[in-house]
Structure 1
Amino acid sequence: MKETVEGEAEWRKALAIDPQSAVALDSLSRNMVDQKNYASVIALLDKPGMEPNRTAMQSLNLGMAYAGRVQLDKAAAVLREGLNNNEDSLPIANELAVVLMLLGRDEEAYSVFDLALAKHPADQPTQVLYLHTLVNSKSNRAFDYSRRLLSAYPDQWEVLYLAGVMESRKGEFEQARAHLEHSILLNPKYYPSQEMLGVVLAGLGDLQAAKQHLDRAVALGDDQPEIEYELAQLSKRLGDTANAHEKIRIYQNLKKTRSDAVQAAGKSEMGDQAISEGNPSRAASLYQEALEITPNEAILYYKLSEAQDKMKDFAGEKISLERAIQLNPNLAEAQNQMGYLADRAGEFTRAESYFRTAIRVSPSYVIAWINLAATLASEEKWQDARQVLSHVTEIDPDNVQAHQLGQALKDAPPDR
């Protein structure tokens, strides 16, 4: 019925009665994944000290959550365990294969697909996903596999597109053109097929038609540097020198932006490693280097603030958090930490505001709820604090901090 807030409340109530309810854990974690609330999925399904006894759905959701937070090694471990316990699960197998590809472990990914298809040889979505990975990784097996799927599914638009890609690589432009045109007829809004048809038509010398399809790909959302380069070459061949120069300028800017993003991501990963090794000073330096390259990344400022907190550089931490929130007001972790700093400084009203923002953005963020309850208690808003703690026990019935704070509030006087 699309009443997701009400649905989440009912799942929480179910978990308050039975914390191991498979139906509630499956459904709530799926809802969180759909909302990209990955931190809450991890908090729900991977609690410290909890013996993993997950359903297939829970394993899939937790793996997707770790992948969503770019913790790919953890994602692979969770999904591998899930697949071991649920050998027939195609969704887990497919997600695991994709994560392994992202980790550069191509042969392992192929093995996962092979095993999955040995159990489900006629599953079309898995076959098409397998073909995508083979084509994208430029495997020697890609062309033969595309032939096989094309024979099995001659009217499947993705198969037609991927067959066209492989034929284009082999210089079989007429055959590629036919398959790409068929694919576009079935799904005209898929911009990669529009771009590939443009490239093929350029190879065949039909420059005006090539430009039309490349322009259509850009209009559909293709923002990769390569398409601007292709358009520059086409404009040059068509004698439009001014447009060719403009497209080269756009291409160079996009390439620089992509290069900067890759370089910054590398610095950030090194910073994450330094944090895990207990070297926050080194991590802070790496995060600052990353921010010099990409200065508008909210998550980088938040990571820098975490390192500064460990270094006890609280003034620097506050500046970094303020910048993170300025760039992304919906970054719940930054809002929560700003609330913690305000609470520690005795600025309870400001702290309450930050905590309320954090839980509005992420209703399942248990730490922020507990911090809000503690701040309300500091303001002597005893009844409000009790109500917040009551909600925490619905979210996380076994939360030790909530129970301790509840005991402390038990004998508190009425609100003033």
Structure 2
Amino acid sequence: MKAKPTIFLLLLVFFLISAIPSFPQESAMDKKAFEKAVKRYRKTVRKDEKNLELHRRMIESAYRANSISVPLYIYQESYKKHPNHPIVLYVLGYTHLTKGTEESLTAAENYLKQALENEPNLVDAHAALGRCYLKQGQKELALEELEASIRLDHKFAPAYLDLARYYSSERSYQKAISNYKESLKLDEKSFEGHFELGEIYFDMKDYASAEGEFLKALTYARSEDEKVAKAYYKLGQIRAWQNRPEEAIDFYKKGKRYASNPAPRYKLANIFLDVDNIQYAIRSLQSALALDPRYADEVGKLKDLSSNEVKDASAVETANIIKEMLVKNPNNSQLQYFVGKLQLKLGDTTSAKEHLEKAKELAPSDEEIRAQLGEVYERENEPEKATEEYKQAAELGKAQLPVLLHLADTYRKEGDEAKFIETVEQILAIDPKHPDLQFELAVIYERKANEEDRKNTDYLFAKAVERAHQAAMLAPNNGKYRLKLADLYAKQGKLKALKTYEEAIALAPNSAEAYAGRAAFMLNYRFGAQKALLYDPEDILADLKKAIQLDPNLAGAHYSLGIIYDRMGSIDKAISEFETTVKLDETNYKAYLYLAEKYANGNEPMKAIDAFAKAIKYDRNNVEALKDFAFLTLKYNEAKWRDAKAALKRALEINADDPEALMNYGYTLYLDRDFAGAIENYLHALRFDPNSAQLHYNLALAYDANGQKTVALQEWRKVVDLDPDGRFGMTALERIVALGEKP
């Protein structure tokens, strides 16, 4: 990316210092070689000094050539002369970032922050700072900076690449893939992008896609470094998983040209062991041991076994030979792991456990060893130890699906919902084709959305819909999954809920919940500016009657039937359905609210009070219900004023400025002989309703009871002025006369 021209005005001066006043001590070159390297670097930069991509390539090339001290020196000298220039700060920060030591990352963070202080819209600096935070493990800050970079320039490939790395570190593989692809659209020839995307596909066992990306990476490789070797080794491992051994070996031979070490060969041996190809497992093991001088004299013992066609005999002999090697040189975790796997394949769990425990001791952070040991403990009927090893494997790295599935089941049984969600998300990131797990997550996210505050509700609900949709698509003939999706669409108010309910009914024609859900959606769906109802009540009624016919105890259907009868003017039928609802489901506070309203309007205040009491028991945040309960209680059952007081206190916790709640709460304080508290609440209420005769009347009573006769008299006079012919005014007048005052 190229920044604004003014930023680059003096770059040529910055980077073309003519002499080297001091030779950097950390350089691996002698002074003469270093001076030549500096001149070459400057000459290249001079060709296009405004091109930050060129600077990045040069810095990275210097790092690969073990000469990072060259750009570090050049940019440090520029910084001494121009300490506030954003581009100088950026390239110096990027050099430290590329160097990658803990100390260098701290320096990179400081320089990049300074660059952004001087030029807040420098896209490259935001992206580099994001990568720096990612390397430091500060993932939230990394995400902020990378997203800021993309907001400033949605075509900046490095930001997408690092954003993909962020999501990969979070094991959000689908998001990682999406960002890798976006990065590669903008920078098709990125070796790193293709290679890292290939690794994601490899971990997901999508070997066809992984192979394509590794081959592209090799096409665009600019240097013969270790990652080129890794690409060939990964291609060989893909062929091994496909049990195409000769092709696997050919890829490994190509990788050997760039980097030769035993670790990839041990990996290949283990894969051949997993696919039951003992012959090539032994050949690969030979290749690994040949690179280790500790076993050079004994590796020849395996030569004849690698061509032995008697598989089991070869495996037993190989195990015995390796055990002899390990007696002399036991401190090889990879060899201990291989023989442990081999013994497990041969059915000797005791010996397998011994070697795997030794491997774990030597390499406690190797997730594959921990997972294999977990399997051994499982076979040995030691479930607690097995679970612990599986947990450690998952914590340490990219655990395989069998391990994660075992852990998900464990966390489900333990009731550890947070770990269950985390583990299932990992499973679905690797292999989304688990409709049962998709559905289970949908149910959890929906419940959590109902429990969380508004800030998280939308996010959790969207997750629930996403998972329900995946479940329904993966299992298109499953009516339960389709019904859950319909219910979620209905809660979102989406019209496609209706079609989804119809699909659920077609899949499960005897599902009372499907008919009741469709009826509830039609009952509540409105359209247009006037929020008009769209569906015929008779159609809704038919669905509800069908639902109740299929399941007479379906509370939700009775509730909806009560609403439709109410709208049709059949009040008695509505009350009957609401009463049935609360018998079947005592937590249905909406039915209690309907009943409370009908009882109150029907001059049955005690039944209304009881219904409101049950409503607010299950819905503690309904301010109007709390107030209505308190009002009716104070009016018709004042002996229970303490219940009214508690309800009003809760209402004021939710809305401290509700004048009606303040007035009635003040009255309960008056009844409790807390006159000062009553006065305080009345005065607070008067701020919102200063001309309320009733409020002034109650305030006068409180002042009088509190012994404040003068201010009480003033309040009586205000009541008379505000309500001269009403009951409050007439009573206030009597009070004034009783005090011997003139009206």
Q: Structure 1 length normalisation: TM-score?
A: 0.53
Q: Is the 8 A contact 2:131 2:162 kept in 1?
A: yes
From 325, 339, 355, the equivalent of 1:197 is 339
From 126, 135, 154, the equivalent of 1:52 is 154
Q: Distance in 2 between the 1:166 and 1:102 partners?
A: 14
How far has the Cα of 1:195 moved from its partner?
Answer: 1.2
Asked if residue 170 in structure 1 is aligned to residue 277 in structure 2, the reply is yes
Q: CA 1:145–1:118 in structure 2 vs 1: closer, same or farther (change >3 Å)?
A: farther
From 407, 410, 417, the equivalent of 1:257 is 407
Q: CA 1:208–1:23 in structure 2 vs 1: closer, same or farther (change >3 Å)?
A: same
Asked if residue 143 in structure 1 is aligned to residue 285 in structure 2, the reply is no
The aligned residue for residue 178 of structure 2 is: 77
SS for the counterpart of 2:133 is helix
How far has the Cα of 1:183 moved from its partner?
Answer: 6.4
From 227, 249, 266, the equivalent of 1:125 is 227
Q: Distance in 2 between the 1:252 and 1:75 partners?
A: 29
The aligned residue for residue 307 of structure 1 is: 457
Q: Distance in 1 between the 2:351 and 2:343 partners?
A: 7
How far has the Cα of 1:268 moved from its partner?
Answer: 5.8
SS for the counterpart of 2:103 is coil
How far has the Cα of 1:32 moved from its partner?
Answer: 0.7
Q: CA 1:133–1:186 in structure 2 vs 1: closer, same or farther (change >3 Å)?
A: farther
Q: Is the 8 A contact 1:33 1:41 kept in 2?
A: yes
Stretches of structure 2 lacking an aligned partner (at least 5 in a row): 1-101, 296-329, 391-402, 412-418, 430-441, 462-619, 622-653, 657-743
Q: Provide Cα deviations, 1:127-155, integer angstroms capped at 9, x if missing partner.
A: 42464476379642763343124434294
Q: Is the 8 A contact 1:267 1:286 kept in 2?
A: no
Q: Is the 8 A contact 1:143 1:163 kept in 2?
A: no
How far has the Cα of 1:76 moved from its partner?
Answer: 1.7
How far has the Cα of 1:164 moved from its partner?
Answer: 1.5
The aligned residue for residue 292 of structure 1 is: none
From 182, 186, 193, the equivalent of 1:92 is 193
Q: Distance in 2 between the 1:310 and 1:170 partners?
A: 46
Q: Distance in 2 between the 1:60 and 1:2 partners?
A: 24
Asked if residue 285 in structure 1 is aligned to residue 471 in structure 2, the reply is no
Q: Distance in 2 between the 1:260 and 1:182 partners?
A: 42
How far has the Cα of 1:175 moved from its partner?
Answer: 2.8
Which residues in structure 2 correspond to 1:356-375 (within 5 Å)?
Answer: none
Q: Is the 8 A contact 1:271 1:283 kept in 2?
A: no
SS for the counterpart of 1:88 is coil
Q: Distance in 2 between the 1:137 and 1:283 partners?
A: 40
How far has the Cα of 1:307 moved from its partner?
Answer: 2.9
Q: Provide Cα deviations, 1:16-63, integer angstroms capped at 9, x if missing partner.
A: 22234365334312211112223322222224854313253x332121
Q: CA 1:80–1:302 in structure 2 vs 1: closer, same or farther (change >3 Å)?
A: farther
Partner letter of residue 196 of structure 1? F
Q: CA 1:115–1:190 in structure 2 vs 1: closer, same or farther (change >3 Å)?
A: farther
How far has the Cα of 1:285 moved from its partner?
Answer: 1.6
Q: CA 1:103–1:140 in structure 2 vs 1: closer, same or farther (change >3 Å)?
A: closer
Q: Is the 8 A contact 1:177 1:197 kept in 2?
A: no
SS for the counterpart of 1:198 is helix
SS for the counterpart of 2:156 is coil
Q: CA 1:218–1:29 in structure 2 vs 1: closer, same or farther (change >3 Å)?
A: same
Asked if residue 160 in structure 1 is aligned to residue 295 in structure 2, the reply is no
SS for the counterpart of 1:46 is helix
Q: Distance in 2 between the 1:113 and 1:309 partners?
A: 36
The aligned residue for residue 340 of structure 1 is: none
Q: Is the 8 A contact 1:177 1:200 kept in 2?
A: no
From 118, 129, 132, the equivalent of 1:31 is 132
SS for the counterpart of 2:278 is coil
Q: CA 1:138–1:19 in structure 2 vs 1: closer, same or farther (change >3 Å)?
A: farther
How far has the Cα of 1:98 moved from its partner?
Answer: 2.4
Q: CA 1:229–1:62 in structure 2 vs 1: closer, same or farther (change >3 Å)?
A: closer
SS for the counterpart of 1:216 is helix
Q: CA 1:345–1:252 in structure 2 vs 1: closer, same or farther (change >3 Å)?
A: same
Q: Is the 8 A contact 2:116 2:125 kept in 1?
A: yes
The aligned residue for residue 639 of structure 2 is: none
Partner letter of residue 373 of structure 2? I
Q: Distance in 2 between the 1:206 and 1:185 partners?
A: 29
Q: Distance in 1 between the 2:423 and 2:348 partners?
A: 41
From 356, 359, 370, the equivalent of 1:217 is 359
Stretches of structure 1 lacking an aligned partner (at least 5 in a row): 234-243, 273-279, 289-300, 317-343, 347-416
Q: CA 1:66–1:185 in structure 2 vs 1: closer, same or farther (change >3 Å)?
A: farther
Partner letter of residue 278 of structure 2? G
Q: Provide Cα deviations, 1:65-119, integer angstroms capped at 9, x if missing partner.
A: 1223344333222211222322332222122222334556442222111111123
Q: Is the 8 A contact 1:180 1:197 kept in 2?
A: no
Q: CA 1:34–1:85 in structure 2 vs 1: closer, same or farther (change >3 Å)?
A: same
Q: Provide Cα deviations, 1:337-387, integer angstroms capped at 9, x if missing partner.
A: xxxxxxx999xxxxxxxxxxxxxxxxxxxxxxxxxxxxxxxxxxxxxxxxx
The aligned residue for residue 685 of structure 2 is: none
In terms of mean alpha carbon deviation, does 178-187 or 105-114 score higher?
178-187
Q: CA 1:184–1:281 in structure 2 vs 1: closer, same or farther (change >3 Å)?
A: same
Partner letter of residue 163 of structure 1? L
Q: CA 1:2–1:170 in structure 2 vs 1: closer, same or farther (change >3 Å)?
A: same
The aligned residue for residue 725 of structure 2 is: none
Partner letter of residue 341 of structure 2? V
From 192, 203, 210, the equivalent of 1:109 is 210
Q: Is the 8 A contact 2:236 2:248 kept in 1?
A: no
SS for the counterpart of 1:2 is helix
Q: Distance in 2 between the 1:309 and 1:77 partners?
A: 20
SS for the counterpart of 1:81 is helix
Q: Provide Cα deviations, 1:201-247, integer angstroms capped at 9, x if missing partner.
A: 666899998665322222122563432444787xxxxxxxxxx555x
Structure showing greater Rg: 2
The aligned residue for residue 30 of structure 2 is: none
Q: Percent identity?
A: 14
Q: Distance in 1 between the 2:340 and 2:294 partners?
A: 17
Q: CA 1:18–1:68 in structure 2 vs 1: closer, same or farther (change >3 Å)?
A: same
